[in-house]
Structure 1
Amino acid sequence: MGWQNASTHMRYGPRFRKHRRFAQQTFNQQAIRHFRSLQHQELGILLNGMVDTPEAFLQSIRRYAAATIMKITYGHDVKSSDDLFVQLAEKAGTATIESGTPAATLVDFLPLMKYVPTWMPGAGFKRNALKCRELVQRMMDVPFQKVKQDMENGIASPSFTSALLEPHIKAGENTLSKEDENDIRGAAGTLYAAAEDTTVSVMHTFILAMLLHPAVFQKAQAEMDQVVGQERLPTFEDLDSLPYLSCVLKEVYRWNVPVPLGLPHRLMEDDVYQGNHIPQGSMVIANIWAMSRNCASPDQFYPERYVEEPDLPDPRNMVFGFGRR
């Protein structure tokens, strides 16, 4: 199928491939290994926070997710969930949800409604969208401008954004075009927004699942103690020796998918799926929630299903959406 990415309303073409190339440079299989030390460092801060203030574990998780992706994206150190950049992202995310999820308003199905004046009754979606756009713009612009200024002053920390700006900006010199600036700012903002909430959602689900299923938790803990012991924290290198934990994590993704309907896509050409003709321009929404329930007893949290049915699809390959990225 030929897909059009509806998350940024960007048609598949040279600009889309440019944004995808940006991401691939930083997040290919080899490059992501460089983030492991950062993840391990932030994990230590998370665990200390959960021990010191267990009642604030939700805030600790959100700080962990924000700190990790903010450091990768902008080279910025997040000390608490009150951080300015984090607050900007929180407000933008809340406004995006409140303004209507994809396909939640009539304009998604009747595009002509986009020409309705904002003052008319029924145009609330448009007023909300304008408010949302302003907040999203601030979320992307403030940290981006900080990196840009730091690079011009020669004091920027290494990051996704600084790496993309490096060919254009050096201390005292700026050859950045408006097009390149918009593309880099947008790619960085999308990266942060996409990673932070999904990370928080999965971690919340893991804690909920362990509280509701203590037998699963005890079995995973026993495996961890046997492989890792009690003198150190586990590392990525231990994962292959923790098969039950791997099953638990798969079940966490499947049991409560972080993005139930994914992101809408639009067909670039006519297509046929299971004998059904889908015309060019159709909006296609993947029901990831339903796909995750294509197994026995889908409401049950049962990690053993991946041992008993080794042919079950790996939820990690679908729960965050589909299409080129």
Structure 2
Amino acid sequence: MEPSISMEGNRNYSSVVMFVFLGLTDDKELQLVLFPIFVGIYLVTLVWNLDLIILIRMDSHLHTPMYFFLSVLSSIDICFTSSISPRMLSDFFKEEKTISFTACATQYFVAAWMGQAEYCLLAAMAYDRYVAIGNPLQYSAIMAPGLCQKMVAGVLGTGFLCSLLESVPCFNMSFCGPNVIQHFCCNISEIILLSCSSPFITQIILFLAAILVGFGSLLIILLSYGFIAASILKISSGKGSAKAFNTCASHLAVVTLFYGTALAVYMRPSSGHTEKQNKVLSVFYIIVIPMLNPLIYSLRNREIKEALKRVIKKATFFP
């Protein structure tokens, strides 16, 4: 921290130009175990998500709205985890885990952008499943490529705007020291605690963003699945009902993981968890879920498996 001395009444203060992370753990033996695990998780996340994007792009059978949204989800997951994981890994064995004020603001902005875009995208994917099951005859006409592209643009635009509205007031607050963040990344709740100015505006914006984006998206998902359940109950064939449910199972699993962990991280009472538990939940939310999403969709999806076989067959005959 480079001091920038000035006066406020009769009081001196120093302006924070960098923050210091406490990191995930101080236990050296545990660090030696966790480091290769997290490197492996990050590499698997990149490989699986990139492979899924390329597969959807290459196979014409997967050029449908559902797989278009899935490829966008994989892109968001790559950006989301990459905004935090590389720095966390590079800081693992450093004695002093410092990050500049600008880098911290950038890290939070990108992570918040991708995180809030994912909330909105999961809502868009729920609506897509509702149209597919509730109105199958008009599905292609309703979920036209133009509408899907506009929905994705809206998803990314909403995430960008909300992240910008959160980041600007937060990082425009005064930081006089201390500058130690009790985390392995630029967690906004920890940053607010370090400010020596009123966080009221930032907290109001965070609350509104949580209501509009987080709970707004969840409401759309719940309404969509309410209509989906009603549509499935109207299907007389047991086989047809099972097939309809199977098309939603992967999305439901991803929604449950993402929202369940997010609620545990951000909506817990301040005395509900220790700092260590909060870090564990954050690791799962930031690092593990982006790896699990493509696995959930790939392992349960017959069309993706068949597309992968076709691509491998082409590569075998036409190397």
Measured against the shorter chain, the TM-score band is under 0.3
User: Per residue, is there more helix in 1 or in 2?
Assistant: 2
TM-score when scaled to structure 1?
Answer: 0.27
TM-score normalised to structure 2 length: 0.28
**Which protein has greater RCO, CA pairs closer than 8 Å, 6+ apart?**
2
